[in-house]
Amino acid sequence: MLLIRVADDCRVDIGVPHEFDETAGALSAEPDESDLDAVAGLSRARSSGHRGETDAGGRGLQKSSSGSAVVHQQSGYLKSRPGGDSLGSMARILAIHAHPDDVEILAGGTLTLLAEGGHQITIATMTPGDCGSAELGPEEIAAVRRKEAANAAALLGAEYLCVEMRDLAIFSDDASRRRVVAVLRRARPDIILTAAPVDYLCDHEATSALVRDACFAAPAPNYRAEGDPLGAIPHLYYMDPIEGTDRDGVRVRPDFRIDVTAAFERKREMLACHASQREWLRHHHGTDDYLLQMERWTRECGREAGVEYAEGFRQYRGHPYPGTPLLQELLEEQLV
């Protein structure tokens, strides 16, 4: 197991990584007891370095995207959701995508708003981005990118988890599904934000299928994976695909958009933590500045909704997934 902790000075200390079999991809074909008990290398990062300031009740304070302090409850309950409707408890949100920086590009603003509302955020990636460099070897760049992802999550007071699969080796099979179920059982989310089912990259599409099926499996007591079964299937939402289009360039229309204009600077700060990706994207994608590219995509999504910046989502309502609009209600003031 790989443990990542964010220290007070935001540096990340990394322990010994879980052994990875290059010939077999990220997983063996059949899970053994160690896979089920240890989740085969699940890693995590807690943003302890951003929780030093507290209010009178001992709750962590963090800065909102507008610069004002907001309460971040590490545990406990909220009496109402934004807008005053009864919620009963703080919502837990898991944003899980394929690689470090995917979540920040596609949902960083929405997560910022949810964190400012006092909700508990976990960011997870399937891989540590081990193919994301033309200069560093896979374990070297993976170590760098885990640090970057942990520091980005820390800006929200969030936890970062890495499932420790490997780039271009994410497949929708039983062993992989058990790993993802273990993540869900650890985070215990009310809402999950994940990759679009159709996108430009195989890892994104495999992640989408794995998370969808893990939502169904996580509450099943007889589906063996680490952690206690969930009480119910979580609310599942797909982020937009990269550029908002499918593999053929056809526009994928979201069900709704979240106005993230007020949170855009924090979204940009989160993505800027992934500094290693500028050189890689220039080398492999022909993209000179990933921050400007993200800004263009977020601005275009906002333009379609009549706001400066927005992020789009589609809710998965297949049987028997919950169809109530929980995310929309939590962010009803930013819903466009």
How many residues belong to the chain? 336
Q: Pick 221 or 10 by higher pLDDT.
A: 221
- Look at the block and give the residue holding tokens 């409707």: 85
- Six token digits for residue 295: 């800004």
**Cα 188 to the center of its chain, rounded Å:** 14
Q: pLDDT tens-digit profile of 86-107?
A: 445 689 999 999 999 999 999 9
| 260 neighbors 271 (Cβ within 8 angstroms) | no
pLDDT band at 320 (very low <50, low <70, confident <90, very high): very high
Q: Distance between CA 324 and CA 308 in Å, rounded? A: 28
Give the pLDDT mean for 228-241: 98
Kindly report the CATH number assigned to the domain that includes residue 191. Answer: 3.40.50.10320
- Look at the block and give the residue holding tokens 């560093």: 136
- Look at the block and give the residue holding tokens 């370095």: 49
Q: What are phi and psi of 271, to 5 degrees?
A: -65, -35
Does the pLDDT at position 287 exceed 90? no
Does the pLDDT at position 68 exceed 90? no
- The domain in which residue 253 lies consists of 3-334
Domain count, the chain: 1
Q: pLDDT tens-digit profile of 112-149?
A: 999 999 999 999 999 999 999 989 999 999 999 999 99
The contacts of residue 125 (CB under 8 Å, 6+ apart) are: 96, 97, 98, 99, 100, 102, 103, 149, 160, 161, 162, 163
Does the pLDDT at position 65 exceed 80? no
pLDDT band at 277 (very low <50, low <70, confident <90, very high): confident
Does the pLDDT at position 285 exceed 90? no
Q: Distance between CA 39 and CA 43 in Å, rounded? A: 9
- Name which of 334, 331, 335, 336 is nearest 82 in CA terms: 331
Q: pLDDT tens-digit profile of 146-193?
A: 999 999 999 999 999 999 999 999 999 999 999 999 999 999 999 999
Does the pLDDT at position 19 exceed 80? no
Q: Distance between CA 20 and CA 328 in Å, rounded? A: 40
Q: pLDDT tens-digit profile of 259-274?
A: 999 999 999 999 999 9
Q: DSSP string of 267-296?
A: HHHHHHT-TTHHHHHHHHT--S-HHHHHHH
- The three-state secondary structure class of 78 is coil
Q: pLDDT tens-digit profile of 80-89?
A: 333 333 445 6
Tell me the CA end-to-end span of the chain in Å, nearest whole number.
42
Q: What angle do CA 126, 130, 136 make, to 5 degrees?
A: 160
Residue 36 has what pLDDT? Answer: 44
- Name which of 214, 222, 140 is nearest 183 in CA terms: 214
Q: Distance between CA 26 and CA 165 in Å, rounded? A: 5
Q: Distance between CA 137 and CA 279 in Å, rounded? A: 14
- Six token digits for residue 100: 């470090």
